Structure 1
């Protein structure tokens, strides 16, 4: 007689590791906070908006890396995260940044990230719990990125609110993905 020693419940995906889930939650909360700040204070100057938008993109990029780190698809996760981090750094450190520059950098970063995020979530749906939430976050990024590109002369208020809502929803979706993750089967 043989015994299955692979785990208490064969075929059940193990729960996300503590550090990865904790990282997703911490970065998700950071994205929610940045989103709330952008929505609550839309009258900030363009430079302040560039710093906050840059921070939002960097946080979203770090979230992307954290989410993908445990899936065995670290390369795509690093690439997706790098797109947002580079966009965020460019938005934050560009001297004499203009609203058009912020819209362009933010829009391009979000569209590129959103397309890749959605494609990877769908492609890895068998391995990634909560993949639908991640795909939805990617679609949301594409929509907001297209809005930023199509309306670059928008006021600081509109851009702050649109980006704030996007970052806030992205953070919430990642928190949901962290919470929904694989669950322990009930005995």
Structure 2
């Protein structure tokens, strides 16, 4: 008579507990979002705008070559800040990414030919400020629950005015263009500093929950 055989216990690593679960994969977009929501990141972008403006005002005799390189580096750095800030915003990231690409493209054009004419440099900077201001203003108007929405809209309007002034008032010399761009960079840098400090205030009032809030428009 044959005896029935039960299922033999499994040997090997399967017999024991499953062991520690693997660590979750790090999402690059989430990491960029956390960085973009930091008020320190916004403050860094403001300083990246303010410092070149101060340099231009205290160094008005800079040559056109130096001015083009300085503006090109400024646009590239701000493009990188805007790219990360786009991931820190809730909702649609496309407007922020468009602004970031616009700044990077303007920086590449300035650095590609540093010996270009004053008119060409004015056209690049004015167009970047005008279009980025319009996109940022549209984002602020469309995002009803944006913290400190009025401040962001004011900064966007300032960028639009800066772009119009630079495009409408062509400078006849590198010295005049340096003063004009330096003045607007200082004004924009101060306005962006106000946005960063307002965002810090909002995060402090919200406490720990504020870390998960979506940042202002990039």
Q: How would you bin the TM-score normalised by the shorter chain?
A: 0.7 to 0.9
- TM-score (ref. length: structure 1): 0.79
In structure 2, relative to structure 1, the CA distance for the partners of 1:133 and 1:29 (3 Å cut) is same
Aligned to 1:42: 60
Shift of 1:136: 1.7
Give distance in 2, aligned partners of 1:66 and 1:173: 19
Aligned to 2:82: 64
Q: Give the number of aligned pairs.
A: 170
Gaps of 5+ in 2: 1-32, 208-218
User: Is 1:141 matched with 2:159?
Assistant: yes
Shift of 1:130: 2.4
Gaps of 5+ in 1: 1-15
Shift of 1:143: 1.5
Give distance in 1, aligned partners of 2:136 and 2:156: 5
Match of 1:164 among 160, 182, 194: 182
In structure 2, relative to structure 1, the CA distance for the partners of 1:18 and 1:99 (3 Å cut) is closer
- TM-score (ref. length: structure 2): 0.69
User: Is 1:75 matched with 2:94?
Assistant: yes
In structure 2, relative to structure 1, the CA distance for the partners of 1:169 and 1:153 (3 Å cut) is closer
CA RMSD of superposed structures (Å): 2.2
User: Is 1:106 matched with 2:130?
Assistant: no
Match of 2:134 among 115, 138, 157: 115
Question: Helix, strand or coil for the counterpart of 1:43?
Answer: coil
